[in-house]
Amino acid sequence: MSAWANGFRLGPYEILAPIGSGGMGEVWKARDTRLGRIVAIKRLKEPHGERFEQEARAVAALNHPNICQIHDVGPDYLVLEYIEGQPLLGPLALQEAIRLAIQIASALEEAHGRGILHRDLKPANILVTTKGTAKLLDFGLAKPMAGTDATRTLEGTISGTPAYMAPEQIEGKPCDARSDVFSFGAVLYEMLAGKRAFDGMAAVLRDDPKPPPALGSIVLRCLAKQPGQRFQTIAEVKAALESAITNPIEKPPPSIAVLPFANMSRDADDEYFSDGLAEEIINALTQVAGLRVIARTSAFAFKGKNEDVRRIAETLGVTNVLEGSVRRAGNRLRVTAQLIHATDGTHIWSQRYDREMTDVFAVQDEIAAAIVGALQVKLTGKPMSARPHEPNLAAYEAFLKGRQQFYKLSPEAYVRGVDYFQQAIALDPQWADPHAYLGRIHFALGYFSLRPASEMIPLARAEARKALELLPSEPIAHALLGAIAATHDFDWKEAEEQFRLAMASEAPPPDVHYTFALYYLLPLGRFDEAIQVQAKTIAQDPLNAVWRARRSLSFLCAEMYEPGIAEARKALELDDKSFNPHFLIALNYFFQGRPAKAREPAEEAFRIAPWLPAVGRFLAGVLTQAGEKDRAGKLLATIPETKRGGMAMYHFICSEIDAAIDCYERDIELHLLGATLWASAGFLKPLRAHPGWPKLAKMMNLPGTV
């Protein structure tokens, strides 16, 4: 169906901007000019009949704070309550999951009391508002009556989403409230575990899911195959959840944040060493089964801020905090460490280590082992993994300096990082880590068009392979090869295999999940999976602005613009000096149909990162659309044509589709690393409708329509 234009009038409703699209049709933000309120209008795929309107009125009669209200019904559209929020995504902290689950259950209880089933309960149909309230969307529009098969829609097709449908719903049998109980259990499972209970219809009918990390008895009873073995009403489920508030069924697993160790040395330059010590302890602890460890970026966000430990723990959602200090004098090293209980700030354990510098790795391992003992974490029959390779001290110091530069994400820092990693390799040729990180810098230089991909990819590939020669299980090296296979080689089977190997370890670092989502899932149009993977990454590293910006990118590709803007703003709160959040806010605004709102963040992104061609060309496109062609032309003239990033995007946003296709084809021929990223983005539908697109899709080994 044709899209409405911004400013289009639909009776008393003024269309403002697209919000997204779903199974039933498009969703638009609009203004009700009669009542002066903002609403959401869902344009249906085809006109409906009288029975549909009767059922819509039945749902509209529901008055519950956790149900999205229906305001009006037209021949091919619904007028709904406008909700600012984000889709429900896990994993969530236990108490937060219980709180939201009770709200969802309350909404279902209200509907069931009026004889209405939802029939399509899933996380995508639940928004969490900015005030933390759950709102159910797409409420069934079916009122089961005597003799009516509630499993079917008005058109007679099976209704629901396969991974969340009850077995009887899949088999086309009559459904009742217990079918919604099953779907509720699948949603609750995902809220707790951060992944689906079932992969699809076959799994629902055949498999029993592994118990979730909490509330296992409630969830698994909801997910019983036979309706008679489930909770018989959603009210029973709600009562069980309310009981769990004061009497938790399972205690949350122990968790810890390792804060950056204070540098007590006379030389301020030794800070890289104290930071590296804390990071190595983080890496060691991530190998411990049953212990949740906050990643480096979030733990280091409190560096130098002198915050109360209890507030840090509350912000990061952990039960324990490790802090310490390092004093280095000549070849002597003194490390102090103390483990603090987050609730009351009491000390669980403390220790001082006086060692020669050559014993630094032994100190790291001793501290990690002592923490495990203090927390009384039960290992699964295996001791903590031994260090695969112990580098010499000079190589270790060079590597730490290189990694410190890598995290700065700037062209100058990348150049310094290359030097440090090459020093580490020269000092210890048998150590895998410097090769893996050097490969990542080479890839980043090519990805951002700072250097030709044709030069950088062979270097990145060689370093990743060398890392795997030295350590075949190195996850970052496997993830790097997966990214190269997808973005440069267009070999999706090889990419899938490399990412499988990268995530085969017990605790792959967050970078691996991030790389998998960005370079593999997004280009293939698997937006829901990408968003879920990124949710796990953020749960492990909640204060990492990069992860949140990448999640905003996933929302953008899925045409979920409001959540995309909200996620980018969270990234901005964490790091206002990075171009990425500003750039993502601008992109989301522009493709939402609000180019004027995109102007300011686009300008700011370019001010911060004038070295990034894609940012400059996007701003030029925004300026062209605003009628400022002279300034746009001058800006474009400053970007060398050899740096091709963003050329196709520039032509696309200027509505020059033929030119965009030509540029895109050239980017693919040159194996520009960003070419695959936008291949399935929802806002590029006009590009994929072009007669030249099938050729481009074939060049990238993608289906003709993603």
Using an 8 Å Cβ cutoff, are 204 and 167 in contact?
Answer: yes
Q: What's the chain's Rg over C-alpha atoms?
A: 27
User: Tokens in use for 679?
Assistant: 């291949």
Give the separation between CA 196 and CA 203, rounded to whole angstroms. Answer: 11
Least Cα distance to 498 among 511, 484, 517 occurs for: 484
List the alpha helices (DSSP H) in 351-472: 360-375, 393-406, 411-427, 432-447, 453-470
Q: What is the DSSP string of 326-341?
A: EEEETTEEEEEEEEEE
C-alpha distances (whole Å) from 400 to each of 365, 393, 395, 423, 465 are 17, 11, 9, 11, 21
Please write down the long-range contacts of 327-335, taking CB distance under 8 Å and 24 or more positions apart.
Answer: 327/264, 327/265, 328/265, 328/267, 328/270, 328/273, 328/357, 329/265, 329/266, 331/356, 331/357, 331/358, 332/356, 332/357, 333/357, 333/359, 333/360, 333/363, 335/261, 335/277, 335/363, 335/367
Contacts of 530 by beta carbon, 8 Å cutoff, 6+ apart: 517, 518, 521, 522, 554, 557
Q: Which residue has the tokens 């499993």?
A: 151
Residues 6+ apart with CB under 8 A from 687: 652, 657, 660, 661, 664, 693
Residue 491 among the catalytic residues: no
Give the neighbor-by-neighbor strand order of the sheet with 25-32: 9-10, 13-21, 25-32, 37-44, 77-81, 70-73
Q: In this structure, which amino acid lies at residue 337?
A: A
Q: Which of 120, 138, 511, 528 is catalytic?
A: 120
Surface-to-core class of residue 541, CB atoms within 10 Å of its CB (0-12 exposed, 13-18 middle, 19+ buried): buried
- Residues 13 and 571: their CA atoms lie apart, in Å, by 34
Interatomic CA distance for residues 394 and 416, integer angstroms: 17
Round to the nearest angstrom and report the end-to-end CA distance of the chain.
Answer: 18
Q: Are 639 and 617 in contact (CB under 8 A)?
A: yes
Residues designated as active site = 120
